[in-house]
Structure 1
Amino acid sequence: MSDDIDIRSGGAIAVDTDRLRAGARGCREVANRLDELQRSALHEAVQLTARLTLGGVVPRVWAIAWRLQRAAHEAAALAQRLAHLATVYEIVELDVARRAARGEDARRVELRLRELISGDPAAATDAQGIEADWKTGGIDAVAGQYSAFGVAFGLGGAATVGGVVRGMGTLIDTVGAGTIPRSAVLAGARQPVRLRRLDGPPHHFTPPASLQDAASRIPRGDARVRVEKYAMPDGSNRFALYVAGTNTKGGAREAWDWDSNLELYGGRRSASFDATEEALRAAGAEPGDAIYEFGHSQGGMIAGHVALEGGYDTRALVTFGSPTEAQVDAGTLSVQLRHTDDPVAALAGGGSAGRVGAADSVVVQRFADPAVGVGDIDLASHHLDTYEQTAALFDRSDDARAGAVRERLHELRGAASVQAFDFAVERVSPK
């Protein structure tokens, strides 16, 4: 397993442009100060040389002057590079915004793009390259992994498998699948489901302290949905929702089956979505209540649709290996964990190029299982346990956005009481 994580503000946005520009300003200030010191050292070296000062002092002063000059040039070059990258990523963000902008907003975006490109023409080319790599990177990684598996184990058609996967990526990009627009509403009639609350010993009666802690609460056994109800001192209620991924062994009454996967990915209601809505209502959630959502795989798709059309105040939407990205608004902290070798996560087509959600929203990526082996067939890179490891790596990172996630989870602390509801679900009419 790999411990290297890539933390981004969006699919193609690796860093925050404001922070980049702040870094560029800081480097320019350092370069200017080094220039001043270099001039002082050079002046002193000339004075000492003119006085024919003996000993090793003069060579050392000259050496210091040249080192200061080199350091000043390096700091200035770094400042220029950071400013260039800030322009590149802002162009990517604006390019995304331009597609959705109308009227005066569209004109403002266009003017800003022209201003940036006129000041740094090379940035436009680099931005195009970043967007192109973002669109194909995830699919290419998965295709390469499965092609390598076929070659390593002497299976015929390895190249064909890679080609099929890449063709799927092209299709996803062409039809716009993999992202759930903000205005999306699932089509179709409700599907009858039966919920059964599972009795068990009290557990997890404190808010999740970290992303790994939250991931560990996503149901793995008989339960499909877990809801935690937090009664706050001011009389309001907040809810944490945890939604499981696909279950392939549940039989004809299983609501979290492949039928639900295909329905949700195609924009239609599923038994699993309807069951999740019922679970929230059974736990006492009402429209307008604050909700914090966590979902793995199919559960990520469900959580995304709940966030967009459930009528709740979605404070956080965290998905692990979801095949879709919900384009939530600026009031929702969006946290997406994706493994670049996870074929399910690749169905999201890289998601949006720009940032989705609140200012500190983040996409955390990792090549979870670079070794070629049976794990590729078992989809080890898609397992919730593997994503839990990635969550732990993000929790331990010094990235400021990891702190923002902890702060959002901290909003659940201070509850007067906490209740937990674990629900098993079955279809009323088996398929």
Structure 2
Amino acid sequence: LRARAEALAHTDAAAAAAVEARLARLLASDGSVGTLADTLERTADARRFRGLDDQYDAAGLLPPVFLGGAFVGVTSGLGRVRPGMALGATADPVRVSVASRSRPTGAPSGLASALRRLPSASGAQVAIEKYTMPGEAPRYVAYLAGSRSMSLRTAGGTEPWDMKSNIELYTGGRSASYQATLDALAAAGARPGDRVDVVAHSQGGMIAAHLAMESPFAVTTQITAGSPVEPTLSADHTLVQLRHTDDVVSALAAGGAREGTGSADSFTASRVGDPDAGRQDLALETHSLENYMETAAMVDASADPRAEALDAYWADLDRAVTVDRTEYRAERVLPDP
């Protein structure tokens, strides 16, 4: 009831008040219920960041760094993209070109298979697959890579998937990477109103959130791994999130929404991605796409009904007569020196 009241408060004040009145009656009937709920919430809160402070120690210097993501996410509130939080300002100019074209034999067979389709070669950051459906309008799936550069020194250079775009997206700015994604979709033939689903890692998850919440496309399903944010979606959007509780980047989302988001088929699958403390923690191994692919494979093998419900989504996509895949390379256009 607490979670429901919190969710309704954003959209329906009268309905939220009715739920709060019901909650008050429940608490008045049995005082122990509130105490039990408090305990369960504290346990859930602690689980959100399990393993985050239990990584490579370096004489106590690094745990505060790893915990920094959770601190920023919890205190700033920027990890939740709420209704009306549209990206502001104007993006840096970008140039988008075709890196490669191919024709896959069908749709992905599961979450791990979908993550394997994220662009990795030819310097591409975006891949768009056009699904020609029998007797229906074409559908598109956008595959959005994570950050290509984590250097602050080169931020704002020709690479749009960089720290400048990370900071802009997280703080509500319109990034070059977001603009490049819109340009790639247009180049692939997607038009306003077309169905565009999204598979994304890391920075790509922030782009996916705003594609669903403010773009002209009909995003009904998005799958994210290690996203620094969580969108606020309506009941006709399905959101599948993979999160590692020891991932400092994912921790920027502050553990997500207690009240949930999206359709009843939406879910978050989480685990400690890298339980062994070691120097690999310095490279954010638990945030790597390969590590999230392992988590995706675990979800694919799960008997959880929500995980099994995804099979119908892949099967529906696999009805396509043809699948045309184009990978795009984007570059930020810099002013002349």
Structure-2-length-normalised TM-score = 0.91
* Larger helix share, 1 or 2: 1
Q: Is the 8 A contact 2:158 2:334 kept in 1?
A: yes
Name the counterpart of 2:135. 234
Name the counterpart of 2:292. 387
AA aligned to 2:196 is I
Q: Which whole-Å CA distance do the structure 2 matches of 1:359 and 1:301 have between them?
A: 22
- Deviation track 1:115-145 (CA, whole Å, cap 9, x = no partner) reads 4434554332232233334445444631232
Q: Is the 8 A contact 1:94 1:113 kept in 2?
A: no
Q: Is the 8 A contact 1:225 1:422 kept in 2?
A: yes
Name the counterpart of 2:167. 262
* Cα offset, 1:271, TM superposition: 0.6
Work out whether 1:421 is the aligned partner of 2:331.
no
Residue from 184, 202, 227 that aligns with 1:279: 184
Name the counterpart of 1:41. none
Q: Which whole-Å CA distance do the structure 2 matches of 1:273 and 1:301 have between them?
A: 9
- Per mean C-alpha deviation after superposition, the further-off stretch among 204-213 and 359-368 is 204-213
Work out whether 1:106 is the aligned partner of 2:7.
no
Residue from 218, 221, 238 that aligns with 2:118: 218
Name the counterpart of 1:305. 210
Name the counterpart of 2:90. 189
* Cα offset, 1:315, TM superposition: 1.7
3-state SS of the aligned residue for 1:347? helix
Q: Which runs of 5+ in 2 are unaligned?
A: none
Q: Which whole-Å CA distance do the structure 2 matches of 1:103 and 1:92 have between them?
A: 14
Residue from 374, 381, 387 that aligns with 2:279: 374
Q: Is the 8 A contact 2:4 2:16 kept in 1?
A: no
Q: Which runs of 5+ in 1 are unaligned?
A: 1-90
Q: Which whole-Å CA distance do the structure 2 matches of 1:374 and 1:165 have between them?
A: 13
- Deviation track 1:46-85 (CA, whole Å, cap 9, x = no partner) reads xxxxxxxxxxxxxxxxxxxxxxxxxxxxxxxxxxxxxxxx
Q: From the superposition, tell whether residues 303 and 101 of structure 1 become closer, same or farther in structure 2 (CA, over 3 Å).
A: closer
Q: Which whole-Å CA distance do the structure 1 matches of 2:314 and 2:143 have between them?
A: 14
Work out whether 1:365 is the aligned partner of 2:270.
yes
Q: Which whole-Å CA distance do the structure 1 matches of 2:86 and 2:254 have between them?
A: 20
Q: Which whole-Å CA distance do the structure 1 matches of 2:54 and 2:150 have between them?
A: 29
Q: From the superposition, tell whether residues 326 and 408 of structure 1 become closer, same or farther in structure 2 (CA, over 3 Å).
A: same
Looking at both structures, which has the greater relative contact order when contacts are Cα pairs under 8 Å and sequence separation is at least 6? 2
Q: How does 1:32-431 map to 2 (within 5 A)?
A: 91-97=1-7, 99-100=9-10, 102-118=12-28, 120-139=30-49, 141-145=51-55, 149-150=56-57, 155-156=58-59, 158=60, 161-163=62-64, 165-166=66-67, 169-200=70-101, 202-221=102-121, 222-248=123-149, 252-429=157-334
Q: Which whole-Å CA distance do the structure 1 matches of 2:137 and 2:257 have between them?
A: 34
Q: From the superposition, tell whether residues 168 and 136 of structure 1 become closer, same or farther in structure 2 (CA, over 3 Å).
A: farther
AA aligned to 2:137 is S
Q: Which whole-Å CA distance do the structure 1 matches of 2:131 and 2:291 have between them?
A: 29
Q: How many residues were matched structurally?
A: 331
AA aligned to 1:177 is L
* Cα offset, 1:95, TM superposition: 4.3
AA aligned to 2:74 is D
* Cα offset, 1:418, TM superposition: 2.0
Q: Which whole-Å CA distance do the structure 2 matches of 1:101 and 1:244 have between them?
A: 32
* Cα offset, 1:207, TM superposition: 1.2
Q: Which whole-Å CA distance do the structure 1 matches of 2:185 and 2:134 have between them?
A: 21
Identity of aligned residues (%): 37
Q: From the superposition, tell whether residues 393 and 103 of structure 1 become closer, same or farther in structure 2 (CA, over 3 Å).
A: closer
* Cα offset, 1:98, TM superposition: 5.1
Q: Which whole-Å CA distance do the structure 1 matches of 2:65 and 2:311 have between them?
A: 40
* Cα offset, 1:223, TM superposition: 1.0
* Cα offset, 1:108, TM superposition: 1.9
- Per mean C-alpha deviation after superposition, the further-off stretch among 258-267 and 203-212 is 203-212
Structure-1-length-normalised TM-score = 0.72
Q: Is the 8 A contact 1:139 1:165 kept in 2?
A: no
- Per mean C-alpha deviation after superposition, the further-off stretch among 131-140 and 241-250 is 131-140
Q: Is the 8 A contact 1:300 1:322 kept in 2?
A: yes
Q: Which whole-Å CA distance do the structure 1 matches of 2:69 and 2:186 have between them?
A: 38
* Cα offset, 1:92, TM superposition: 4.2
- Deviation track 1:341-389 (CA, whole Å, cap 9, x = no partner) reads 1111111100111221010110000111111112211211111011011
3-state SS of the aligned residue for 1:259? helix
Q: From the superposition, tell whether residues 402 and 311 of structure 1 become closer, same or farther in structure 2 (CA, over 3 Å).
A: same
3-state SS of the aligned residue for 1:218? coil
Q: Is the 8 A contact 1:317 1:333 kept in 2?
A: yes
- Per mean C-alpha deviation after superposition, the further-off stretch among 119-128 and 329-338 is 119-128
Q: Which whole-Å CA distance do the structure 1 matches of 2:150 and 2:97 have between them?
A: 18
